[in-house]
Structure 1
Amino acid sequence: MTKFISFLSSLVLASGTALCAESTNSIDDKSLKDVPEPIKCYGYLGDVTGDEKMSVGLAVQLCAGTKNAKATLVCYKMAFERLGLNRGLAIELCSEGRKLQ
């Protein structure tokens, strides 16, 4: 996950936007406005949910197609921790990737 955050920071810096030390702590950071929501979701997954053991495939499934990274991650955290759903069911409940448009 740390490598991904470094990659994400490099993308933002390459686009000409400077990051402040404290600006990397928020998923709503204005310096990340051009980063697609699924990428933000994947990058912040461990920080927001605390679920460091999720596999890459499940993380991609959760974040694919999201239009609001923060809402997706908060939904997952609530479903996984508070409702006690397993990872697969929490992803099914909160993922936007499979929802019909």
Structure 2
Amino acid sequence: MPAPRKYPDELPERAVREVRTTSRPIAHVAKDLGIHKEALRGWVRQAEADAGERDDRLTAAEHEELKQLREEAAELRRANEILKAASAPFAQELDRPRTRPTRRSTA
């Protein structure tokens, strides 16, 4: 379950827009808006990555895709463990040596 959001959804967009359009330092904009400067710095970096201006971070779309792939991989691992456990009795049956019944001579 994700952590509750500390800031309203509109605030990051507004803060990033202000930093990018005014070229004011992040710390000053953050102080004016009453947010932590490192939170704003992260928002700005993410906005730059989403705009293709940075290649040292994943875009929001890439983050979402990575999250989905990790969830899918975990689900496949769980399914694989279930299938292994369910097939174990059959594997034991196949591994047993088969013996031929002995013939009794009728003499």
Superposition TM-score, scaled by structure 1 size: 0.25
